[in-house]
Structure 1
Amino acid sequence: MKINRLIYIISCLAVFSTFTACEDYLNPENISSSNEAQQFDSTADTFTALIGVYNQIIGDDAYGQRLNLYYPQSADDFKISGDFNCNDRRGISTYGACTSNPDLNKPFLKLYSGIERANLCIKNIPLSPVYKTGSAAEKALMDRYLGEAMTLRAQFYYDLIKNWGDVPMQMVPSSDLETVYLPKTDRDVIYDKIIADLAVAADLIPWKSKANTSNTRITKAAVKGLRARIALARAGYSLRRDPRVMAKGSNSEVYYKIAYDECKDIMTSGEHSLNQNFEAVFRALHDNSEDAAKEVIFAAGAFGGNAATDSKIGYFNGMKHDDNSNWKGGGNVLALPVYFYEFSKYDVRRDLSVAVNKVNNDNLSELLTGALWTDGKFRKSWTNVTGTSQNLGIDWPLLRYSDVLLMFAEADNELNNGPSAQAIKAVRDVRERAYAGNLGQAGTIPTDKTGFFNYIVHERLLEFGGEGLRKYDLIRWNLLATKIAETKQNLTNFLNGTGKYANVPSILYYKVSPYDKTKTAQATLNGIDIYVPAGVSREDVFYTPTPGTAPSGYKTINWRVAVNATYINDPLKGYAQYFEANRKELLPIYNDIILSNYNLTQDYGY
Structure 2
Amino acid sequence: MKYIFKSIVLIVVFALGGCKSFLDTEPKDFLSKQNYYTTEDHLNRALISVYDILGSNNTYGSNMLGRMGLDADQAFYGRNEKTGVSVYETAATDPLVTAFWQAMYDGINRANVLLENVSRPTMNEGKRNTIIGEAKFLRAYYYFLLVTNFGDVPLKIKTNDSPTETNFPRVSKREIYDFIIKEMTEAEAMVSTAGKVGFGGKISKSAVRGILARVCLHMAGHPVNDVSKYAEARKWAKMVMDPDPADGYVHALNPSYKQIFINYAQDLYDMKESIWEVEFWGFADGTYSESKRVGSNNGIRAHHTDNATNDLIGYAYGYIQTTASHFMLYGSESKTIGSVVLEYSNDLRRDWTIAPFYYGAAHNGAKVYPPATVADMYRRLSGKWRREYELIKPKSKNDTPQNYPLLRFSDVLLMFAEADNMVNEGPTPEAVEALNKVRRRGYGKNLKAELVRNIVITNQGTGYPATTTVAITGGGGTGATATATVVGGKITDISITDEGSGYTSAPIVTITGTGGKSATATAVISQIAATKADFTIAEIGTKADFLKLLQDERTRELAFENLRKSDLVRWGIFYQNMQNEAQDMVTGAASTWSVHSRYFTNVRQKDEVWPIPAREIGLNQGLVQNPGW
| TM-score interval, smaller chain | 0.7 to 0.9
Rounded Cα–Cα distance in structure 2 between residues aligned with 1:580 and 1:234: 22
Q: Does 1:334 align with 2:357?
A: no
> What amino acid maps onto 2:352 in structure 1?
L
**Structure 2 counterparts to residues 548-563 of structure 1, below 5 A:** 563=589
Instruction: Give 2:367's aligned residue.
Output: 365
Aligned residue among 545, 570, 581 for 1:476: 570
Measure the CA separation in 2 of the matches of 1:389 and 1:101.
26
- Partner-residue secondary structure (3-state), 2:379: coil
Match of 1:488 in 2: 582
- 1:35-93 Cα offsets, whole Å, 9 max, x none, are 3254333322111110110111112111111134322445221111123432xxxx323
1:175 equivalent among 150, 156, 161: 161
**Is it true that 1:23 corresponds to 2:3 in the alignment?**
yes
In structure 2, C-alpha distance between the alignment counterparts of 1:58 and 1:387, rounded to whole Å: 19
Deviation at 1:302, TM superposition (A): 1.7
Equivalence for 1:261:
235
1:517 aligns with none
CA distance in 2, matches of 1:469, 1:46: 32
Instruction: Choose which of 37, 40, 44 in structure 1 pairs with 2:41.
Output: 44
> What residue is the counterpart of 1:235 in the other structure?
220
CA radius of gyration, larger in: 2
Deviates more, 1:587-596 or 1:149-158: 587-596
Alignment counterpart, residue 320 of structure 1, candidates 276, 283, 301: 301
Say whether 1:193 aligns with 2:179. Answer: yes
Question: 1:157 deviation in Å?
Answer: 0.7
Q: 1:267 to 1:195 in 2, by over 3 A?
A: same
Tell me the amino acid that sits aligned with residue 350 of structure 1. R
Give matches, 1:398-409, under 5 Å: 398-409=406-417
CA distance in 1, matches of 2:62, 2:253: 26
By how many angstroms is 1:601 displaced? 1.5
Answering whether residue 552 of structure 2 is matched by residue 458 of structure 1, we say yes
Helix, strand or coil at the partner of 1:299: strand
Deviates more, 1:469-478 or 1:174-183: 174-183
| Whole-angstrom CA distance in 1 between matches of 2:303 and 2:282 | 25
Structure 1: distance between partners of 2:77 and 2:567:
19
Map 1:493-532 → 2, pairs under 5 A: 495=588
- The question of whether the paired residues in 2 share the 8 Å contact of 1:40 and 1:128 is answered with yes
Which residue of the partner structure matches residue 302 of structure 1?
280
Q: What letter corresponds to residue 352 of structure 1 in structure 2?
A: W
Q: Structure 1 residues 199 and 314 mapped into 2: Cα distance closer, same or farther (>3 Å)?
A: same
Q: Letter of the aligned partner of 1:128 in structure 2?
A: R
1:567–1:575 contact (8 Å) kept in structure 2: no
Match of 1:156 in 2: 142
Aligned-partner Cα distance in 2 for 1:312–1:27 = 16
Matches for 1:575-590 after TM superposition, within 5 Å: 575-581=599-605, 583-590=606-613
Task: Note if contact 2:69-2:77 (Cα within 8 Å) is conserved in structure 1.
Answer: no
Shift of 1:25: 5.3
Q: 1:99 aligns with which of 92, 98, 108?
A: 92
Which AA in structure 2 matches 1:473?
D
1:172-210 deviation line (CA, Å, top 9, x unaligned)? 112289833201111110110110111110000111212
CA shift for structure 1 position 443: 5.1
Identify unmatched segments of 5+ residues in structure 1: 1-20, 239-247, 496-562
Aligned-residue CA RMSD (Å): 2.5
Question: Residue 428 of structure 2 aligns with which residue?
Answer: 420
Q: Percent identity?
A: 26
More strand, by proportion: 2
Q: 1:187-236 CA deviation, whole Å, 9 max, x = no partner? A: 1101101101111100001112122x421111111111111111111111
The residue identity in structure 2 corresponding to 1:406 is: L
Give CA deviations for 1:323-380 in whole Å, capped at 9, x if unaligned: 2242221422111123211112100100011013123312211135433210000112
- Whether the 8 Å contact between 1:278 and 1:349 is mirrored in structure 2 is yes
Task: After TM superposition, give the deviation of residue 467 of structure 1 in Å.
Answer: 0.9
Matched, 1:110 2:89: no
Equivalent-residue separation in structure 1 for 2:4 and 2:586 (angstroms) = 53
Decide whether the 8 Å contact of 2:413 with 2:434 is kept in 1: yes
Contact 1:322 1:359 in 2 (8 A): no
In structure 2, the gaps of 5 or more residues are: 13-29, 244-248, 332-344, 371-375, 445-527
CA distance in 2, matches of 1:176, 1:294: 46
TM-aligned CA deviation for residue 388 of structure 1: 5.3
Aligned with residue 379 of structure 1, among 378, 386, 389: 386
1:400–1:177: structure 2 CA closer, same or farther, 3 Å change rule? farther
Q: Structure 1, residues 114-152: CA drift from partner, whole Å, max 9, x if none? A: 000111122222x3243xxx4xxx111110000000111
Compared CA separation, residues 305 and 375, structure 1 to 2 (3 A): same
Counterpart Cα distance in 2 of 1:282 and 1:42:
38
Is the contact made by 1:207 and 1:271 (CA closer than 8 Å) also made in structure 2?
no
Which of the pair is proportionally richer in helix? 1
**1:72–1:399 distance in 2 versus 1, CA, 3 Å:** farther
Post-superposition offset of 1:282: 0.6
| Corresponding pairs, count | 491
Task: Name whichever of 56-65 and 38-47 sits farther off.
Answer: 38-47
